Amino acid sequence: MRRLIGATGLVCRIVPIGIEALSKLWHDDRNTVSAQRAGNVIHWLNQPGDLLQRWVRLMTPHLQTNALKGLMNDSRLIPVKDVMQAELQRRGC
C-alpha cells in the first residue's frame, strides 16, 4: 500500500492529468472511469519508472533549453538524464 501511495504522489507531480484520473477512480461522478482505464492507471502507478520514461521522452523535445538545463540538476530524474542530455547535445548546448 505504501508503494501505491508513493507512486500516486509521483504520478501526480509528474503528470497533472493523473490527478484527474485518480480522482475519478475514488469519487463517484457522472463520468466514472471504465474498468479498463482504472486498470491502466493502477498499472502505471505500480511502474512509476516506466511512466516517467514515457513522459520524459514525449516532453523533452518541447521544453525550453533553460528549463531542460534546470531539470538536469533534479536528482529524481537520474534515470532519464540520458534523454535530456541527448536533447541538449542536439541543440548544441
Q: What is the pLDDT of residues 21-51, one digit of tens each?
A: 666 666 555 667 788 888 888 888 888 777 7
Q: Which three cell numbers stand for residue 73?
A: 540538476
27 DSSP 8-state letter = S
Lowest mean pLDDT among 30-39, 51-60, 61-70: 30-39
Position 32 scores a pLDDT of 72
Q: Rg for the chain (alpha carbons), in Å?
A: 16
- Residues 13 and 22: beta-carbon distance below 8 Å: no
Per-position DSSP letters for 29-82, written without gaps between them = -SSPPPHHHHHHHHHHHH-HHHHHHHHHHHHGGGS-HHHHHHHTT-GGGGGGHH
Top pLDDT among 9 and 67 is at: 67
Position 63 scores a pLDDT of 87
